[in-house]
Chain A
Amino acid sequence: MNRITIHIFTFLITLALCPTLHAQDSLQVRGLIRGINKAPLPGASVSVEGILTAPVITDSTGTFLIPVPDLEVTLLISPMGEYKAKKVYLNKRDYLELTLSPEDLRDGQDQTAYIFYEKELRDFASSASFPETDLLDKVPESSVESYFKGLVPGMWTTGMSGMPGSGAVSFLRGMKSMHANTQPLYIVDGLPLDLPGTMESLLDGNSYNSLASINPSDITDITIDKDYLNAPIFGMRGSNGIVFIETMKPTEVETLIDVSLKTGITTAPELLPQLNADQYRTYAKEVLMSSGLPEESFRDEYPGLYAAPGDPNYKMYGNNTNWQSQAFRNALMYDVYFRLLGGDEIARYGLSAGYLSKEGIVDQSSFDRFSIRFVGSFNIFTWLRLSVSTSLTSNSSSLKESARSAQTSPILSGLAKNPLMIPYQFDEEGNQLLALQDVEELGVSNTAATIQSFEASNRNNRFLTNFRIEADINQDLKFISLIGINFNSLNEDIFMPNLGMELYYNDEAYNVAKSISNYFFAFSNNNYLSYVKVIDRAHSIEANAGLRINSNRYESDWGIAKNSHESDEYRDLQSGTSNLNEMGGTNGKWNRMALYGSFTYAFKERYSLNMSITGENSTRIGPKAENVSFISELPLGLFYGAGVSWRVSNESFLKDINWIQELKLRVNYGKTGNDDIGNYNAFNYFYLNHYRSTTGAAPGPMVDETLTYEDNFQFSTGIDFTTSGNRLALNFDYFKHRIENLFLFYTQPYYLGHEYLPMNSGSMQNTGFEGKVSGRIIQSTSFSWDLWLNVGTFVNQITEIEGGEVITPFKGGAFISKEGEAVLNFYGYEYEGVFTSSGDAVAAGLSNRRGDMFGAGDAIYKDISGPEGVPDKRIDDYDKTLIGSPLPDYFGGVGTRFRYKNWTLDAIFQWVYGKEVYNYLRYQNEKMTGLNNQSSATLNRWNYEGQQTNVPRALWDDPQGNSDFSTRWIEDGSYLKLKNLTLGYQLPDGFLVFRNAEFYVTASNLFVLTSYLGYDPEFAFSYQTMEQGIDYGMTPFSRTVMLGIKLGL
């Protein structure tokens, strides 16, 4: 009340002192400002933009009266207390009624850093998402993109694995390539990060996560741009969507210190049901018998299977071990973060340091990150500013092999190891020792050895620095230069031990040491002129034009040493047996240069026209590319975007409908490219090989000199709708995306000497929509309830592909990409059950590809066709068909937030519906072809004539093909996950010495709703399009509970 009095007093004095001004204004605007639940909001100051008059203050009924020069000005409303300020374009109204939004509710007038400027969210003419960052450091994710799961409409994000430090794979609006990169471009403080796949790993199932070197606690703003309106500015890297990440900004002139501490525990996952020792013995004997050899031979070869109580070896073989529990543990994590912001008007700075230590649920795995970041901004002259953002991150991980290699993966060995043994040896008296048990005749590595003796570690050091120089040339024109350096190194050391492990490299090696060192250096420079002008308060023009260059160098060197010493003591590359050493490496350089421009014209906040254009050269483009223009032999790709947006809510026919705060229609169309086609696939080259002791060179594959970037076109249209005070917000976008010149490895006729020709051929499209609705359901002074829901969908279709279809094999199966169908369809047999009896089998008369007849207990596959185009009773390639797609039908998220006084409860769910996945792990675990332990599902295996079952007989080596790639292994991979549930308590201001203090507890992956039979339906083997949807046995995600505290000084 006191303040209001002062305001009114000031106002009166102003009025008294400026009678002339007042007298000139015959026009006055009256208005009513409301707050929550439509309560009138007194004490808000109201002024006119661009005019130096004293503000007026709303009275106790929330009304005000302000003189204006005309009715097309913009009013600035600055409320008291917990509301957001607001700008309102008067739009010829002389009475205004508006509701302000509470500070904890996102508003269209919030600003975010975009390509050239800070920009208001409501002014985005393209479809963009702005995930809120306030929860980002309260979840146990170690990198930012994992946080996007379920949060970003239209972005299908899947965590790669539960291995700490591993990232997530994101597909924005569909699958935009088959063999080139499909991941969004991440731009951190204006500097593009390297794309996934740049750094190599020797560890199967481990893909380097570029974003692990960005501490999520440093992140303040995230903008995800989905349209091709401004993406063309990024030319050949803009096709998969762009994620702009802004880290802390040096905005403070008083010194602020923030400290955050968190600690948590992740519990071991639920184990899969396996055969116990007795069941295993029965199974193993059964499968051995199926080999057709006499039983006596097995007694000699596998004495353990026949050990009975009382036998001397029963101590060793008479156990019942669940090996999976050797692989998993409960894992701890903690995270410390410190931030200092300060400075004065001339120089401001920010400094942060963070340390994260995270254990993985696979025993002995861990991820440690030490990161420091310095940001500074300096006003050197009134016209010249310099800012710098530099970060140094050092990650080190201890990893385990997590996928396809059975010898070293704790998960695969944990399932496959026979339950008769225990992990440790016995001495002569039969006492258990600490020494690990070696692999016995039944095979399979000792899971405890894969944990305790196997070592894989990597160290990743990243230096990312960015200078920005900004010079005012005049009031409207600026020159900006950005210089960025991205230096990244990744070293990995692996030791595969002897004791307790199977042999490696076709049994030649009993132990192996491997190392790889990756080095990446990129220099980027971006210079542009920026022109901003508002004419007559009605026409606003923004124009930018610039030149950017990007130069990249990559090198990796690796070495493999084998058989150093049987004791596993010497774990370095030097100790290996000399004629088994191997080394190699790769190397690449690629550069880009682009001239670009963008132009925006807006009329009275109602209509806006946007355009962007870029001409870009990439050294990867072939010398005869056809989709480029040549400027003195330099190929230049042209990318463009254009769109209009119409703010309907500012039209006269809507201006008086007060409950509509914002209604905007957008439409745009643009073109981008994707130059991830290999550094030298477009050029004739020789690769090195060897004859005798000398180096040879042989011609590389035939080259298509027209090889070029993929062309991406996207049409997008959307609507943004917000009710007054942001109580309800709705966004809906429709898109139609088309890709041409698809980058493919085309299978050549044999007589040309090389199997594959890298080339551009075919086209594909993605059509779909995404929508988000969010609302504040309940709002009162002490309690609020928010709810949001988003849904995205896309339909992918190959419209043209060389030869009509392309089959891409992977370990265990194949994908087919066929005209008229979506890319990535599993391609195999249709499994229809098991022949109950010999009679049934004979009646069916089916044979496998070699002509062997299927008998009782064998699989029934659907006989679809034959060489003559009709079913031929032979199950071979002609009977393979589309058996499932790992692409989801719908995906999205649901979230809610309750706030009661200082308490907050957040819940975020992610859901993915309608995708099929290949459960390779279950294939390994149920195929029943050898002595590996199997799932308890195999208890239902066919055993006797007439048995009705869906599981075929156990069959040594499976000559019949009962476990071939078929619908038997394809499962519904849909899921609904409670990703995060966070309960927070904010201490009242000024508690003790703290500026603010907050406690919270977060539970992650609390429950999963799925019918998937593996550990976890959420997995991604790599960032490659053609490796999605295959569960090779990645580390599952598991429940985490984390406690945290944030303190501000």
Chain B
Amino acid sequence: MMNNRKIKRLAKPALLLVLVLTLVSSCEEFFHPDQALIIMEDDFHKTWNEYRSAEMGLYSLQQELVEQLVVLGELRGDLLEITDGADNDLKEIYNFSISSGNKYASPNNFYMLIAACNNLALKLESEIPEVLDKSAPETQYDRLYGEVLCMRAWTYFTAVKIYGEVPYIWPSLTSADEINAYLQSPQTYYDVSEIIYSIDGHNNDTITHDTIILERALVNMPMVIDTFTRQLPDRIKAVGVVHNLDNGDQTWDVTVWNTGAYRALMGEMHLFNSNLGEAYSYFSPILNFNDPGASGIKYGLDNKFSYDRWISIFEGVEVDEHLLTLKFDKSYQQQHSLQTLFSVQSPNQYMLKPTRIAIENWETIWSETDIRKNASNPEQTYMAQKGVPGDFYRGNMVSYAYMRGSEMLTNDEVRRILSLKSIGNDREVEILSKGVDTVVYKYSINKDIFDHDANFILYRASAIHLYAAEIYAYWLHDVNGNLNTDVNKSLKLLNNGAYKDPPDGSQMGVRGRVGFGSADDAIYIENQIYQHDPYSNEITGYLDFTSDLPGKQAYLEDQIITERARELAFEGMRFYDLMRISKKRGDPSYLADKVAAKFSGAKAEQIRQHLMDEANWYVPLPEVTNWSEDLPE
């Protein structure tokens, strides 16, 4: 009886307890609650949509790099300089004296992107092993895998251009344990056979076998190029997830890594290694793009972006010109601060501006010039018509602008200034240009001062064409069984365009598109090349290259690099263009002279001396004292 009562007393609370315990213990959710705004790794990578999110995650991280790419690629070159309002970090970059903690020098964002690539590549390899099987039918996963590999290669390649050498983080390190295991694993040796190509890409290549210690591990540019130019063709089945199946938006094709962008990256890496033949093999399909399904000629340098349509390259995502573009959009909070740096209109801070050199590249190019050449007696060559100064399709109001307060100087006003200048009326010029600032305008075209969302183009057709022109300037290649140069092809790419094989009349060439491709304004290579006063266009002398092919080639290459300055100014490539040519010629003074030219007085000489040492071309990496001791046990 007593027992029964006891049991009864206990019954209800016990029941309650049991109920609670059941609720708790039967519920996995109690011990592993779902979180809504983040995704636990265990719950991720289950569906295609999740893989697609991971893909988008990469581009979002790549967006974070844009400001750094422009600042490091241009402010150290000869086209961009600081204003009085520049902050200390920019001043340091400009003066090549970069201190630790400089936000533009930080490699963090590169490695955040590398970590994300490693993570996704590893996930694809383990979860979707078909991506590694070249014989399996091609799927979206293969295309995604291609994107990830391209993205990782691009990131390393871009980083190594900036830092000279970079740590090589290959595995997907996602936990402190893995990091420690990686850092403490036996140090491996990595055998690289390095080929130093001759300037024409063919004769007297030097092949060395270097055993390089991969000490967790700083790799230099040849190693990065060697690694990825092998890895990409070896592993990639396809590149570029086809997004327009879902949304019908063609612009998706070029806002993610795609076959064209892959080729551009591969070609570029080979070009930086002076492997001209390999580089051209990747550029050629872009130059000679022929897709029966596509409307119009893709990458064709035809009239689509000619003359006053050239500006539209920067107004939207242009699938026929862009190979890879990072699209920004304020309404999705995807912005960068390029406008803050460049625009003079408050609250933008106008910290960077184009150099005089950059502006003169556009202002001192002349069209409709009529030179009556006398090849046998160059002294008697004279100018019948000096022509019209200025590149107004790519220059004023496009790549740069003159601003008087918030008012932009019109092309007519600038033309007037240039024409006054050409007749030496400096006083009038001074009056007209009083209170005027020059600004980089490329990232402000059609933008409100608060927009900060101009797209950033990583690869576009004319850049590739100019690379090809650069190759043809020196390249010895096989023509009907003979090794020949074809400098003319280089000129065609530059000037007026009938470079295709077979020739296609719709091509206009890089200069031809904007009115500088015809006989009276094209770049020419002859025994005598006449020099002009930049502002009056008066002939000041001539260079004689009679029987001097190397001289002509070097002259042509200089012209190509200058053309890149007009075509691709402020797109983050200038410093590496100068670097590439300097290295190819084995002459640091090429870069040092160009960069020093934007400084004046003793400062110019100091910078020149500084840059004569190739080691100073690179941004210092944060100090890592001991690779394996930097991490917690």
What's the minimum C-beta distance from A747 to chain B, rounded to whole angstroms? 10
- Asked if B38 and A686 sit within 8 Å, CB to CB, the answer is yes
- Asked if A688 and B632 sit within 8 Å, CB to CB, the answer is no
Given known contacts A686-B57, A695-B53, A696-B59, is B6 in contact with A755 (CB within 8 Å)? no
- Asked if B53 and A697 sit within 8 Å, CB to CB, the answer is yes
Partner of B57 from A685, A696, A748 at Cβ < 8 Å: A696
- Asked if A697 and B13 sit within 8 Å, CB to CB, the answer is no
- Which residues, 677 to 720 on A, are CB-close (under 8 Å) to B? 679-680, 683-700, 702-706
What's the minimum C-beta distance from A949 to chain B, rounded to whole angstroms? 28
Cα–Cα, bound, A855→B534 (Å): 45
Residues of B within 8 A of A683 (CB): 40-41
Cα–Cα, bound, A578→B329 (Å): 13
Residues of A within 8 A of B37 (CB): 585-587, 687-688
Segment of B174-182, B278-286, B491-499, B590-598 in the binding face: B174-182
- Does A431 sit within 8 A of B, measured CB to CB? no
Main secondary structure of the interface of B (DSSP, over half): helix
What's the minimum C-beta distance from B19 to chain A, rounded to whole angstroms? 10
Residues of B within 8 A of A471 (CB): 9-10, 12-13
- Asked if B333 and A473 sit within 8 Å, CB to CB, the answer is no
Partner of A702 from B114, B175, B255 at Cβ < 8 Å: B175
What's the minimum C-beta distance from A231 to chain B, rounded to whole angstroms? 24
- Does A898 sit within 8 A of B, measured CB to CB? no
Cα–Cα, bound, A383→B115 (Å): 64
- Asked if A686 and B39 sit within 8 Å, CB to CB, the answer is yes
Partner of A704 from B34, B167, B176, B624 at Cβ < 8 Å: B176
Closest chain A residue to B346, Cβ basis = A507
- Asked if A696 and B35 sit within 8 Å, CB to CB, the answer is no
- Hey, what's the 0/1 contact readout for B34-60 against A, CB within 8 Å counting as 1? 111111111010000010111111111
- Does B24 sit within 8 A of A, measured CB to CB? yes
- Asked if A802 and B175 sit within 8 Å, CB to CB, the answer is no
Residues of A within 8 A of B332 (CB): 690, 692-693
- Hey, what's the 0/1 contact readout for A654-697 against B, CB within 8 Å counting as 1? 00000000000000000000000001100111111111111111
Question: Interface range on chain B: under 10, 10 to 19, 20 to 34, or 35 or more?
Answer: 35 or more
What's the minimum C-beta distance from A666 to chain B, rounded to whole angstroms? 34
- Does B490 sit within 8 A of A, measured CB to CB? no
Given known contacts A384-B9, A549-B24, A754-B115, is B31 in contact with A696 (CB within 8 Å)? no
- Does B432 sit within 8 A of A, measured CB to CB? no
Cα–Cα, bound, A934→B255 (Å): 52
Partner of A686 from B41, B112, B166, B347 at Cβ < 8 Å: B41
Cα–Cα, bound, A858→B99 (Å): 24
Cα–Cα, bound, A175→B57 (Å): 40
Residues of A within 8 A of B40 (CB): 680, 683-685
Partner of A508 from B32, B169, B347, B630 at Cβ < 8 Å: B347
- Does B111 sit within 8 A of A, measured CB to CB? yes
Cα–Cα, bound, A578→B621 (Å): 41
Residues of A within 8 A of B56 (CB): 689-692, 694-697
- Asked if B111 and A751 sit within 8 Å, CB to CB, the answer is yes
Cα–Cα, bound, A558→B292 (Å): 51
- Which residues, 408 to 449 on B, are CB-close (under 8 Å) to A? none
Closest chain A residue to B633, Cβ basis = A761
Residues of A within 8 A of B115 (CB): 699, 702, 752-754
Cα–Cα, bound, A759→B177 (Å): 12
- Does B307 sit within 8 A of A, measured CB to CB? no
Closest chain A residue to B451, Cβ basis = A579
- Asked if A748 and B631 sit within 8 Å, CB to CB, the answer is yes
- Does B483 sit within 8 A of A, measured CB to CB? no
- Which residues, 581 to 619 on A, are CB-close (under 8 Å) to B? 582, 585-591, 593, 617, 619
- Which residues, 539 to 565 on A, are CB-close (under 8 Å) to B? 547, 549, 551, 555
Given known contacts A699-B116, A699-B119, A757-B176, is B33 in contact with A693 (CB within 8 Å)? no
In this complex, the member of B14, B174, B632 whose beta carbon has the largest number of chain A beta carbons within 10 angstroms is B632
What's the minimum C-beta distance from A522 to chain B, rounded to whole angstroms? 13
- Asked if A474 and B167 sit within 8 Å, CB to CB, the answer is no
Given known contacts A684-B40, A753-B114, is B174 in contact with A702 (CB within 8 Å)? yes
- Does B106 sit within 8 A of A, measured CB to CB? yes
- Does A749 sit within 8 A of B, measured CB to CB? yes
- Does A624 sit within 8 A of B, measured CB to CB? yes
- Asked if A750 and B622 sit within 8 Å, CB to CB, the answer is yes
Q: Count of A residues near B, CB < 8 Å?
A: 74
- Asked if B13 and A527 sit within 8 Å, CB to CB, the answer is yes
Given known contacts A617-B31, A698-B61, A702-B173, is B346 in contact with A587 (CB within 8 Å)? no
Closest chain B residue to A703, Cβ basis = B175
What's the minimum C-beta distance from A210 to chain B, rounded to whole angstroms? 22
Cα–Cα, bound, A849→B21 (Å): 63
Partner of B6 from A473, A617, A619 at Cβ < 8 Å: A473
Residues of B within 8 A of A697 (CB): 39, 44, 50, 53-54, 56-57
Closest chain A residue to B62, Cβ basis = A691
Cα–Cα, bound, A749→B36 (Å): 30
- Asked if B35 and A679 sit within 8 Å, CB to CB, the answer is yes
Closest chain A residue to B41, Cβ basis = A684
Given known contacts A579-B330, A751-B111, is B44 in contact with A507 (CB within 8 Å)? no
- Does A141 sit within 8 A of B, measured CB to CB? no
- Does A472 sit within 8 A of B, measured CB to CB? yes
- Does B20 sit within 8 A of A, measured CB to CB? yes
Given known contacts A686-B39, A696-B60, is B32 in contact with A702 (CB within 8 Å)? no
- Does B582 sit within 8 A of A, measured CB to CB? no
- Asked if A619 and B33 sit within 8 Å, CB to CB, the answer is yes
Residues of B within 8 A of A999 (CB): none
Residues of A within 8 A of B53 (CB): 686, 688, 694-697
- Which residues, 228 to 270 on B, are CB-close (under 8 Å) to A? 252, 255
Cα–Cα, bound, A683→B36 (Å): 14
- Does A457 sit within 8 A of B, measured CB to CB? no
Given known contacts A469-B13, A591-B30, is B108 in contact with A696 (CB within 8 Å)? no
- Asked if B347 and A753 sit within 8 Å, CB to CB, the answer is no
- Asked if B177 and A698 sit within 8 Å, CB to CB, the answer is no
- Asked if B63 and A691 sit within 8 Å, CB to CB, the answer is yes
- Does B609 sit within 8 A of A, measured CB to CB? no
Closest chain B residue to A851, Cβ basis = B97
Residues of A within 8 A of B35 (CB): 587-589, 679-680, 685
- Does A53 sit within 8 A of B, measured CB to CB? no
Closest chain A residue to B25, Cβ basis = A593
- Does A506 sit within 8 A of B, measured CB to CB? yes
Given known contacts A698-B60, A700-B38, A753-B116, is B33 in contact with A590 (CB within 8 Å)? yes
- Asked if A579 and B176 sit within 8 Å, CB to CB, the answer is no
Residues of A within 8 A of B63 (CB): 691
Given known contacts A691-B56, A698-B61, is B176 in contact with A473 (CB within 8 Å)? no
- Does A634 sit within 8 A of B, measured CB to CB? yes
- Which residues, 746 to 801 on A, are CB-close (under 8 Å) to B? 746, 748-755, 757, 759, 761
- Asked if B334 and A691 sit within 8 Å, CB to CB, the answer is yes
- Does A481 sit within 8 A of B, measured CB to CB? yes
Residues of A within 8 A of B44 (CB): 686, 697
- Does B17 sit within 8 A of A, measured CB to CB? yes
Closest chain B residue to A548, Cβ basis = B20
Jot down 5 A-B pairs with beta carbons below 8 A, ordered by A: A582-B333, A696-B55, A702-B175, A706-B177, A750-B622
Give me the interface of A with B, judged by CB distance under 8 Å: 383-384, 469, 471-474, 479, 481, 503, 506-508, 525, 527, 547, 549, 551, 555, 578-579, 582, 585-591, 593, 617, 619, 624, 634, 679-680, 683-700, 702-706, 746, 748-755, 757, 759, 761, 802, 849-850
A469-B13, A587-B37 known; 12 new pairs, CB 8 Å cut-off, are A471-B10, A474-B6, A481-B13, A686-B38, A686-B44, A692-B59, A697-B39, A698-B58, A698-B112, A702-B174, A703-B175, A759-B176
Top 6 A-B residue pairs of the complex, sorted by shortest distance between their CB atoms:
A696-B56, A753-B115, A507-B347, A589-B33, A698-B57, A684-B41
Give me the interface of B with A, judged by CB distance under 8 Å: 6, 9-10, 12-14, 16-17, 20-21, 24, 30-42, 44, 50, 52-61, 63, 88, 91, 99, 106-108, 111-116, 119, 166-167, 169, 173-177, 179, 252, 255, 327, 329-334, 340, 346-347, 450, 621-622, 624, 627, 630-632
